[in-house]
């Protein structure tokens, strides 16, 4: 049975624009959580995962990101979504603390060290464990509703929240569209396997170098072709041309 605190958390996230809300039990991924964030992060047994949908109209322009105005529009949109996620993150943190629980908000798109593409915690891991989607061949979290056209944030907590689901099974099948479209061949095409190093599937340094190159040319860090090309996201864009937005997705 859903508790009053869980209802309040979800209602708050949805009222601030979240399309996705989930609660993850972190125990199955403790080793990975410990590797990324150390004892401080691994001390939290639960993660509240929140996702905001990206604009289809903007994502669908990404093949033209070499044009400065397209890159600027995309980066501006990403920055706006990031601000919204941080506001939700702050309000959820306050609500949990007011209820007497410890929390740790994981900063959106922030790395432990700018030289290396790792954060203190994986937002996509939390969303995956909460049953909101699976980790695709692009190493992005793929939702059945919108594909990877979502940005995520996470609040870690010791609150006794009930998990909203279990890790979703991979549904990419034989699709390799994200692999084929990558300009620097950063993806190996291997399916995600728990415990396998990310390097077996994704060359993060090649991806970073490509994005830096685009920034030098346009003034904006962007690429996003793997976000654009995923069939789940493209089908969602077609559907939403004819229908309004669906309610918050919860597992």
pLDDT digits (tens, 9 = 90+) for 145-163: 999 999 999 999 999 999 9
Kindly give the pairing relationship between strand 141-142 and strand 46-53.
Answer: unpaired
246, part of any domain: no
Mean pLDDT estimate for the chain: 91
249 band by pLDDT with thresholds 50, 70 and 90: low
Where helices occur in 46-109 by DSSP H, the ranges are 56-59, 68-98
Expressed as residue numbers, the domain containing 34 is: 4-241
C-alpha closest to that of 183 among 229, 231, 124, 119: 229
240 band by pLDDT with thresholds 50, 70 and 90: confident
b/e sequence 91-107, b meaning 16+ C-beta within 10 Å: bbbebbeeeebebbbbb
pTM for this predicted structure = 0.91
Per residue in 200-221, pLDDT (tens digit) is 999 999 999 999 999 999 999 9
C-alpha closest to that of 146 among 63, 46, 246: 246
Per residue in 83-124, pLDDT (tens digit) is 999 999 999 999 999 999 999 999 876 554 444 446 789 999
Q: Tokens in use for 108?
A: 């959106």
CA distance 122 to 14: 22
Contact (CB, 8 A) for 84 and 132: no
247, part of any domain: no
Residue 35 has pLDDT above 70, yes or no: yes
202, part of any domain: yes
- DSSP class of residue 185 equals -
249, part of any domain: no
Q: Please, what is the Cα angle at 88 between 84 and 94, to 5 degrees?
A: 145
Contact (CB, 8 A) for 220 and 72: yes
Q: Count up the domains in the chain and report the number.
A: 1
248, part of any domain: no
* pLDDT value, residue 115: 40
Residue 73 has pLDDT above 70, yes or no: yes
Q: Identify the H or E element spanning 142.
A: strand 141-142
251, part of any domain: no
Where helices occur in 130-222 by DSSP H, the ranges are 177-181, 204-218
Phi, psi dihedrals of residue 182, rounded to the nearest 5°? -65, 120
């Amino acid at each position: 049975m859903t508790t009053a605190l869980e209802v309040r958390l979800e209602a708050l996230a949805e009222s601030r624009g979240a399309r996705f809300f989930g609660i993850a039990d972190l125990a199955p991924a403790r080793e990975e959580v410990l590797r990324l964030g150390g004892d401080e992060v691994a001390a939290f047994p639960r993660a509240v995962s929140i996702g905001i949908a990206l604009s289809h109209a903007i994502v669908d322009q990404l093949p033209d990101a070499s044009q400065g105005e397209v890159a600027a529009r995309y980066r501006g949109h990403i920055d706006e979504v990031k601000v919204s996620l941080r506001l939700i993150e702050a309000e959820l943190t306050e609500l949990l603390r007011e209820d007497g629980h410890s929390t740790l908000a994981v900063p959106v798109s922030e790395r432990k060290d700018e030289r290396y593409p790792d954060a203190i915690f994986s937002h996509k891991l939390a969303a995956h464990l909460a049953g909101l989607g699976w980790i695709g061949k692009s190493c992005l979290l793929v939702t059945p509703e919108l594909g990877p056209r979502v940005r995520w944030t996470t609040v870690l907590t010791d609150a006794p929240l009930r998990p909203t689901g279990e890790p979703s099974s991979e549904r990419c099948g034989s699709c390799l569209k994200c692999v084929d479209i990558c300009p620097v061949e950063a993806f190996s095409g291997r399916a995600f396997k728990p415990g396998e190093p990310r390097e077996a599937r994704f060359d993060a340094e090649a991806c970073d170098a490509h994005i830096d190159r685009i920034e030098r040319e346009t003034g904006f860090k962007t690429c996003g072709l793997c976000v654009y090309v995923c069939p789940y996201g493209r089908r969602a864009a077609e559907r939403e041309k004819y229908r309004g937005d669906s309610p918050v997705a919860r597992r």
